[in-house]
């Protein structure tokens, strides 16, 4: 794939070129809007703020979480939910968290072959932390919950805002943003019987700090993930890293970001059959949208000598007004058989309904580095601010969540939606 650089042309011709490009992006979004459908709208008591990626079974049912909402007693917002929707978007069951069994499940769910679901809550559980240290939980096929583990704070982890990975023995693996020996986060393992082991404590140095999003595993059992900061000196001096943890619990930094090539990666990674990794960074790349940058889509490719090469596939906000999107966050992206990549940005897009700027979009980037906006959110009935990435079915349809929009009774931005796009 080719790296598409941010626009850098003489001012005398750039205005005309950018105007034409912006018109092309808007026209593409309008043409694709007819292929967008809201499958489900949240209303507060049935969930509020779906921020995690969905998972799907062979029958087309969708499973996910909302950060708040539900019937649990957590102030005025609820403690969060887990849900099952049928293929038409009708709710089949809803599980509400209640602090003791967890609070604020911000990541998505992992589904096993028998229909059980596994996830994490950022807070709740053990009261050793002010708001609870977070939990790892299991839901059976009917939505009944069992708490597998309650974190205990340093030197244990806390705040497991993590999509989980699972091995064939039933162990699950994830990350915690905090905790560990140096309070810079951990990689953990929880057995099917609820025994937890800290596999790595981040130091905040070259190995990074503030691990986020979650882990993926390859066929050999190696784990891959990102830290949002660290990599260069102290924790707050680096722009984040991509790491690998092998089956002997040895951590290797595969790549350290330097801002121009991306910064603050917060994305679950995607691994292809050739061993390449794909992800996004929330910042870095193009600086047109502010000090932290606008975010990038990147590819990491292994070399024969064991090192890895990064290719920046696209730098966001390369179009006037960030009509192409701004700040892709938690991912993951998805990739079709032709090599096209699809994902979301939480800001940007062609709508100007969100304080005069875009409310986020769904994008496609082809193998030449050309970006197309498949849909721009308005933060109306369609939703707004898609924090998580996408999943796809065999027909190539895309499914995702928008954290805001929909029902306006959830202040200030709406309760959120689940959507489908036919690309």
pLDDT in tens, 219-268: 999 999 999 999 988 888 899 999 999 999 999 999 999 999 999 999 99
How is residue 392 written in tokens? Answer: 């796809």
Q: What pLDDT is recorded for position 34?
A: 60
d(CA 67, CA 82): 9
How is residue 371 written in tokens? Answer: 């970006």
- Nearest Cα to Cα of residue 415 among 159, 81, 177: 81
Q: What pLDDT is recorded for position 13?
A: 26
pLDDT over threshold 90, residue 189: yes
pLDDT over threshold 60, residue 150: yes
Residue whose token pair is 């390369």:
318
Residue whose token pair is 């895309």:
398
| pLDDT tens-digit readout, 101-129 | 999 999 999 999 999 999 999 999 999 99
- Stretch 397-417: mean pLDDT, rounded? 97
| pLDDT tens-digit readout, 353-386 | 998 899 999 999 999 999 999 999 999 999 999 9
Q: CA torsion sign, 89 to 95 to 98 to 99? A: negative
Angle at CA of residue 360, ends 256 and 88, nearest 5°? 110
Three-state SS annotation for 399-416: EEEECECCCCCCCCCCCC
What's the predicted TM-score (pTM) here?
0.91
Q: Which residue has the higher pLDDT, 334 or 27?
A: 334
Residue whose token pair is 């005069």:
356
Q: Let me know: does 206 contact 160? Beta carbons within 8 Å.
A: no
Q: What pLDDT is recorded for position 33?
A: 57
| pLDDT tens-digit readout, 78-87 | 999 999 999 9
Cα 171 to its chain centre, rounded Å, is 22
How is residue 52 written in tokens? Answer: 């995690």
d(CA 358, CA 372): 16
Q: CA torsion sign, 329 to 364 to 278 to 399? A: positive
Query: What spatial distance separates the first Cα and last Cα of the chain, rounded to whole Å?
Result: 20
């Amino acid at each position: 794939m080719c790296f598409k650089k941010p626009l850098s042309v003489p001012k005398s011709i750039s205005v005309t070129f950018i105007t034409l490009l912006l018109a092309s992006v808007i026209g593409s979004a309008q043409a694709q809007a007819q292929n967008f459908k809201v499958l489900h709208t949240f209303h507060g008591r049935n969930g509020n703020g779906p921020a995690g990626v969905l998972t799907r079974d062979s029958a087309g049912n969708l499973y996910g979480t909302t950060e708040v909402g539900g019937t649990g007693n957590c102030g005025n917002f609820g403690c969060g939910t887990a849900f099952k929707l049928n293929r038409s978007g009708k709710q089949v069951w809803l599980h509400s968290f209640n602090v003791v069994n967890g609070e604020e499940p911000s990541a998505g769910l992992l589904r096993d072959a028998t229909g059980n679901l596994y996830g994490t809550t950022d807070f709740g559980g053990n009261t050793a932390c002010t708001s609870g240290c977070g939990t790892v939980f299991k839901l059976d096929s009917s939505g009944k919950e069992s708490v597998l583990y309650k974190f205990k704070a340093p030197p244990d982890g806390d705040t497991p805002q993590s999509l989980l990975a699972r091995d064939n023995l039933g162990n699950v693996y994830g990350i915690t943003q905090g905790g560990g020996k140096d309070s810079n986060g951990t990689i953990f393992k929880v057995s099917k019987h609820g025994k937890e082991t800290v596999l790595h404590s981040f130091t905040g140095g070259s190995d990074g700090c503030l691990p986020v999003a979650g882990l993926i595993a390859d066929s050999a059992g190696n784990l891959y993930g990102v830290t949002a900061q660290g990599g260069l000196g102290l924790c707050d001096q680096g722009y984040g890293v991509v790491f690998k943890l092998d089956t002997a619990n040895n951590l290797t930094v595969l790549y350290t970001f330097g801002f121009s090539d991306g910064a603050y990666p917060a994305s679950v990674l995607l691994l292809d059959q050739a061993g390449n990794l794909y992800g996004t960074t929330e910042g870095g790349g193009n600086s047109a949208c502010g000090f932290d940058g606008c975010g990038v889509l990147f590819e990491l490719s292994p070399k024969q000598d064991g090192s890895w090469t990064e290719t920046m596939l696209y730098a966001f906000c390369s179009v006037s007004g960030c009509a192409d999107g701004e700040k892709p966050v938690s991912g993951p992206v998805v990739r079709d058989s032709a090599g096209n990549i699809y994902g979301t940005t939480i800001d940007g897009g062609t709508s100007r309904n969100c304080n005069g700027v875009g409310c986020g979009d769904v994008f496609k980037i082809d193998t030449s580095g050309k970006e197309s906006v498949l849909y721009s959110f308005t933060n109306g009935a369609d939703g707004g601010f898609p924090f998580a990435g996408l999943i796809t079915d065999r027909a190539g349809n895309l499914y995702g969540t928008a954290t805001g929009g929909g029902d306006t009774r959830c202040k200030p931005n709406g309760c959120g939606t689940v959507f489908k796009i036919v690309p």
